[in-house]
Structure 1
Amino acid sequence: MPYVRHWLRNSILLFALAITLGMVAAHTHLIQPHDLRLDRTIQIHTRAEWLNHVMEGISYLASPVAGVIILAIWSGWLLFVRRRPTKAAATFLVVAVGWNSTQIAKAIVARPRPPREFMLDPEIGSNSFPSGHTAFTVAVVVAAYFLLRESRHRRTVLVCGVLAVLLVAFSRMYVGAHYPTDTFGSVLIAGSAITFVTGLWHVWLEPNLHRIPLMERFGLERERAELAAAQGDHAHGSVPRNRRRPGSPAASGGRHRRHAGR
């Protein structure tokens, strides 16, 4: 997981921006008419019987039930099959926190759903801002990029990920479950939560993974040794984390602790 400078400040600013957008959209007339007009334009000019099933299927793939299944399989594969407990924990946290952060925003903004008569499948939940489906997709894409950012597949993941987020966001407006600002707000909310997690990860979470017995059992030390060796190779002769000089910062995030309050 990369380290983001000024992670605390940036996460708070992103969250505040998203909440401000949601409050303006939900409780003023500056955005609401335009939101509803765009929703209706999409639904009137693009709906077709076959496309209804496609868009409902896409929405289901990012639904709470499917999301839990995807996250459990992905994290379990990294932990039990790949024996990468650090990557499994990081992936789980990025997706879970980025996704579920929307519940906080939903409770604060309390925006009603679009009119039910335009929905293909009426939603049970009452709060519209932000879109949990879109936030889940954003979190999955970011987690995948974090895993592959040092590989040759990073650009493919980035391009495909952006298209996936746009497709899920469109599907939520197509089926009538969300307004456009709901989907955009979910990107801000998920981004703020993930930024916060990256900082917390380096400051406290990752250095304390060894305290969990399950992590040691599935090869935590081996994974850390491989990571330290890889970092040493990339640094062209710099001191690896597991062979630091006396008096140098601690291997488990000393540099990050100095930036923790920034």
Structure 2
Amino acid sequence: MPYVRHWLRYSILLFASAIVLGMTAAHTKIIQPHDLDLDRTIQTNTRTGWLNHTMEAVSYCASPVAGVLIIAVWCGYLLFVRRRPIAASATFLVVAIGWNSTQIAKAIVARPRPPREFMLDPEIGSNSFPSGHTAFTVAAMVGVYFLLRESRHRRTVVFLGVLAVLLVAFSRMYVGAHYPTDTFGSVLIAGSAIFFVTGVWHAWLLPNLDRLPLIGALLTRFGLEEERAELEADRDGYGHPAVPGPGGGGRHRRHAGR
């Protein structure tokens, strides 16, 4: 996981921007009519039988049930098969917190869902702003990028990640579960949470993984010290260690916590 300078500033700025957008969209007439018009345009002009099933399937792939399964399998593979506990921990935090941060914004903004008569499969869950499905996709794609950002595949990951986010966002509008601003707000909220995670990770979590109650022993058993030593041996272009020590030094290391 990279270290981001001014992570707290960026996190607060993105979160505040998302809340302002959500409150404006939910409680004023500035955005709401345009949101609904765009939703209805998508649903009127693009809905067909085969595409209905396709978009419902896309939407399901980022649903809460699918999201939990993806995180469990992904992080389990990194920990138990690849024996990379640092990568597994970082990935879990990025995806889980980036995804679930939407619940805070949902409670603050309290925007109702689009009219139920426009929904293919009426939502009975939480508020509309922001889209949890889209936030999960954003967080998952960022997690993949963090793992592969030093490889030759990083540009491909960015390209495919953007496509995945756009596809899931479109599917949520297509099935009638969200407004356009809900999906855009998800990018801001997930981004805010991920910036925050990167800061906390380097300031406290990474140097103290082995000291975490219960979890520390598990991570140590599956190769924590070996992966830490490997990262410390991987130096950046300036010869700095990759991982900060217990005292918190080296927060600006480019390769820390890959």
Q: What TM-score comes out, normalization by structure 2 length?
A: 0.93
Q: Give the aligned partner of residue 256 of structure 2.
A: none
The 1:158–1:108 alpha-carbon spacing in structure 2 relative to 1, beyond 3 Å, is: same
What amino acid is aligned across from residue 182 of structure 1 in structure 2? D
Q: Does 1:74 align with 2:68?
A: no
Q: Give the aligned partner of residue 235 of structure 1.
A: 237
Larger radius of gyration: 1
Measured against aligned partners, the alpha-carbon deviations of 1:218-237 in whole angstroms (never above 9, x if no partner) come to: 11111111112222xx436x
Give the Cα–Cα distance (whole angstroms) in 1 for the partners of residues 152 and 247 of structure 2.
27
Q: Is the 8 A contact 1:52 1:175 kept in 2?
A: yes
Q: Is the 8 A contact 2:106 2:126 kept in 1?
A: no
Measured against aligned partners, the alpha-carbon deviations of 1:2-56 in whole angstroms (never above 9, x if no partner) come to: 0111111110111000000000000000000000000000000000000000000
Q: Give the aligned partner of residue 222 of structure 1.
A: 226
Q: Is the 8 A contact 2:55 2:175 kept in 1?
A: yes
Give the Cα–Cα distance (whole angstroms) in 2 for the partners of residues 35 and 10 of structure 1.
27
Identity of matched residues, %: 77
Question: Gaps (5+ residues) in structure 2?
Answer: 253-258
Q: Give the aligned partner of residue 167 of structure 2.
A: 167
Question: Which secondary structure state, in structure 1, belongs to the residue aligned with residue 177 of structure 2?
Answer: coil
Following superposition of structure 1 onto structure 2, how do residues 1-80 of structure 1 map, counting pairs within 5 Å? 1-80=1-80
Q: Give the CA deviation at 1:250.
A: 4.0
* 1:255 aligns with one of 246, 250, 255: 250
Measured against aligned partners, the alpha-carbon deviations of 1:163-196 in whole angstroms (never above 9, x if no partner) come to: 0000000000000000000000000000000000
Q: Give the CA deviation at 1:215.
A: 1.0
Q: Is the 8 A contact 2:133 2:168 kept in 1?
A: yes
Q: Is the 8 A contact 2:207 2:245 kept in 1?
A: no
Q: Is the 8 A contact 2:129 2:182 kept in 1?
A: yes
Give the Cα–Cα distance (whole angstroms) in 2 for the partners of residues 252 and 47 of structure 1.
57
Q: Give the aligned partner of residue 135 of structure 2.
A: 135
Question: Gaps (5+ residues) in structure 1?
Answer: 243-248, 258-262
Question: Which secondary structure state, in structure 2, belongs to the residue aligned with residue 254 of structure 1?
Answer: coil
Give the Cα–Cα distance (whole angstroms) in 2 for the partners of residues 119 and 241 of structure 1.
49
Question: Which secondary structure state, in structure 2, belongs to the residue aligned with residue 161 of structure 1?
Answer: helix
What amino acid is aligned across from residue 96 of structure 2 in structure 1? A
Question: Alignment RMSD, CA only?
Answer: 1.5
Question: Which secondary structure state, in structure 1, belongs to the residue aligned with residue 101 of structure 2?
Answer: helix
Question: Which secondary structure state, in structure 2, belongs to the residue aligned with residue 202 of structure 1?
Answer: helix
Q: Give the aligned partner of residue 103 of structure 1.
A: 103
Give the Cα–Cα distance (whole angstroms) in 2 for the partners of residues 217 and 174 of structure 1.
46
Q: Give the CA deviation at 1:252.
A: 5.8
Question: Which secondary structure state, in structure 1, belongs to the residue aligned with residue 230 of structure 2?
Answer: helix
Q: Give the aligned partner of residue 190 of structure 2.
A: 190
Give the Cα–Cα distance (whole angstroms) in 2 for the partners of residues 160 and 146 of structure 1.
14
The 1:179–1:239 alpha-carbon spacing in structure 2 relative to 1, beyond 3 Å, is: closer
Q: Is the 8 A contact 1:241 1:251 kept in 2?
A: no
Give the Cα–Cα distance (whole angstroms) in 2 for the partners of residues 174 and 193 of structure 1.
26
Q: Is the 8 A contact 1:206 1:252 kept in 2?
A: no
